[in-house]
C-alpha cells in the first residue's frame, strides 16, 4: 500500500491509500508509526471497521490498555470501550451552557493527565454518527509550543504545573465557566461515579516527547490548577495565574485546532503525548456511538504529589 497524506484544517493529516482489512506488512506498520509521530493526528476515511480490525490496527502503535472499569468491559473485546450518547448514563454528563442543554461535552484535555502517566494515544471509530453536533476537537500542542515567543519559552523551561483531578467543572480554574450550570445529576465527587480519587499530578510546563523528541506545551485547560512555587522563578502567584490564562488561550487559537465531524467509516488516531482533544457534545436524545481503543502510556511524564 502506498500511503499519501493531505493536511486537515490547521493540524493533523488525512491518510489515503490505506485499507484496514489488508495485511499490515512491517514496512506499512513503520510508515504508519512515523506518520503518527510526524503529525500527531491521523484521519482515515471510508474504512470497513469491526471491533477486531480496530484492535488489530491499534496494536501497531503499542500495547492496548483495558478499560479501568471492569464492569464496562465487554467479555469479547476487553480492549474496546464504547462512548455512547443517548443512553441511561446521559444524565450524569448533561449540563447547561449559556442556556443550552448539552450531553457529553468535554473541555480540552489530555487523557489521564491527572495521573502523571497519560496513555500514549487512542483510536476512535464511528459506529453511529450523530445527525448534528458530536464533533471531536484535536489541538496540536507541539505546534502551539513552536509558536511561542522566546521569552515565554525560556520562562516555561523552568516551570512546573499541577493538574488537580475534580468531578466538578465549576471547580476548575482555567475552563470557561461563563453561562455554565451543572445538571441535576452531575457528579460532585469521584466516588459518586465509582472513580478513584487522585492526588495532584505535577509536570514540566514543557514536555519533551519521549519518542520524537519534540517540545510539547503541556498546558491544557481541564484540571489545570497552578504553577508550582512561582516565586522561586521570579514571578508572583498573580503573574503565574495570568501566564496560565494566556497560555490556555494560546492553545485554543484556531491555527492549532482541528474539529472532526464524524462520517460513517471514519477512524481517528491521535498521539496523547502531543495533542489535546475535546468533545462538543450533542443535544439531548441524539444518538452517537464511538468505539475507542487505547494505547498504553509507558512513561511517567509527571509525578503524583503525595507528600511522600
Ligand X SMILES: O=C(O)CCC(=O)C(=O)O
Task: Indicate if the alpha-carbon torsion angle 234, 237, 239, 245 is positive or negative.
Answer: positive
Q: Which is nearer to Fe ion, 60 or 83 (CB)?
A: 83
227 touching ligand X, by CB under 6 A: no
Q: Which is nearer to Fe ion, 153 or 292 (CB)?
A: 292
Least distance in Å: CB of 83 to ligand X?
5
136 touching ligand X, by CB under 6 A: yes
- H/E element holding 64? strand 64-65
65 touching ligand X, by CB under 6 A: no
60-119 residues in contact with Fe ion (CB under 5 A) are 111
Whether 189 and 167 have beta carbons less than 8 Å apart is answered as: yes
Least distance in Å: CB of 277 to Fe ion?
6
Q: Which is nearer to ligand X, 93 or 205 (CB)?
A: 93
Question: Which of ligand X, Fe ion, none does residue 172 bind to, with CB < 5 to 8 Å depending on kind?
Answer: none
Q: Which is nearer to ligand X, 136 or 155 (CB)?
A: 136
- Measure Cα distances from 95 to 180, 190, 280 in Å: 8, 17, 12
State in Å, rounded, how far the first CA of the chain is from the last one: 52
Nine-digit cell string for 76: 469479547
Question: Which of Fe ion, ligand X, none does residue 290 bind to, with CB < 5 to 8 Å depending on kind?
Answer: ligand X
d(C-alpha 114, C-alpha 116), whole Å: 6
106 touching ligand X, by CB under 6 A: yes
Question: Which of Fe ion, ligand X, none does residue 200 bind to, with CB < 5 to 8 Å depending on kind?
Answer: none
Beta bridge mates, 108: none
113 touching ligand X, by CB under 6 A: no
Task: Indicate if the alpha-carbon torsion angle 34, 134, 249, 11 is positive or negative.
Answer: positive
Nine-digit cell string for 97: 451552557
d(C-alpha 12, C-alpha 10), whole Å: 7
Question: Which of Fe ion, ligand X, none does residue 126 bind to, with CB < 5 to 8 Å depending on kind?
Answer: none
Beta bridge mates, 227: 161
Query: What 3-state class would DSSP assign to 139?
Result: strand
Least distance in Å: CB of 287 to ligand X?
13
From residue 266 to residue 295, the character string flagging contacts with ligand X as x (rule: CB under 6 A) and all else as - is: -----------x-x----------x-x---
Least distance in Å: CB of 181 to ligand X?
21
Please compute Rg for the chain using Cα positions.
Answer: 19
What is the CA angle 108-80-34, rounded to 5?
A: 65
Binding residues vs Fe ion (CB under 5 A): 111
Binding residues vs ligand X (CB under 6 A): 83, 106, 111, 122, 124, 136, 277, 279, 290, 292
Amino acid at each position: 500500500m502506498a500511503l499519501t497524506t493531505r493536511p486537515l484544517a490547521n493540524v493533523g493529516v488525512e491518510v489515503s491509500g490505506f485499507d484496514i482489512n489488508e495485511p499490515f506488512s512491517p514496512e506499512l506498520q513503520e510508515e504508519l508509526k512515523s506518520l503518527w509521530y510526524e503529525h500527531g493526528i491521523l484521519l482515515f476515511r471510508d474504512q470497513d471497521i469491526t471491533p477486531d480490525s480496530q484492535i488489530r490496527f491499534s496494536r501497531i502503535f503499542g500495547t492496548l490498555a483495558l478499560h479501568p472499569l471492569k464492569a464496562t468491559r465487554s467479555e469479547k473485546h476487553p480492549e474496546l470501550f464504547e462512548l455512547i450518547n443517548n443512553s441511561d448514563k446521559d444524565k450524569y454528563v448533561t449540563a447547561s451552557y449559556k442556556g443550552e442543554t448539552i450531553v457529553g461535552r468535554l473541555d480540552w484535555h489530555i487523557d489521564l493527565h491527572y495521573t502523571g502517566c497519560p496513555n500514549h494515544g487512542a483510536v476512535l471509530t464511528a459506529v453511529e454518527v450523530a445527525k448534528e453536533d458530536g464533533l471531536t476537537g484535536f489541538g496540536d500542542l507541539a505546534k502551539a509550543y513552536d509558536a511561542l515567543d522566546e521569552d515565554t519559552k525560556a520562562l516555561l523551561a523552568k516551570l512546573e504545573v499541577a493538574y488537580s483531578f475534580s468531578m466538578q467543572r465549576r471547580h476548575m480554574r482555567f475552563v470557561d465557566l461563563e453561562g455554565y450550570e451543572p445538571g441535576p445529576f452531575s457528579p460532585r465527587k469521584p466516588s459518586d461515579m465509582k472513580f478513584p480519587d487522585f492526588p495532584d499530578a505535577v509536570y514540566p510546563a514543557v514536555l519533551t516527547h519521549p519518542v520524537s523528541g519534540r517540545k510539547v506545551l503541556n498546558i491544557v485547560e481541564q484540571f489545570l490548577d497552578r504553577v508550582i512555587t512561582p516565586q522561586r522563578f521570579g514571578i508572583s502567584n498573580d503573574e503565574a495565574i495570568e501566564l496560565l490564562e494566556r497560555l490556555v488561550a494560546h492553545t485554543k487559537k484556531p491555527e492549532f485546532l482541528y474539529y472532526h465531524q464524524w462520517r460513517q467509516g471514519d477512524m481517528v488516531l491521535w498521539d496523547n503525548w502531543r495533542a489535546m482533544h475535546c468533545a462538543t457534545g450533542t443535544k439531548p436524545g441524539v444518538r452517537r456511538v464511538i468505539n475507542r481503543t487505547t494505547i498504553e502510556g509507558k512513561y511517567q511524564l509527571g509525578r503524583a504529589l503525595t507528600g511522600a
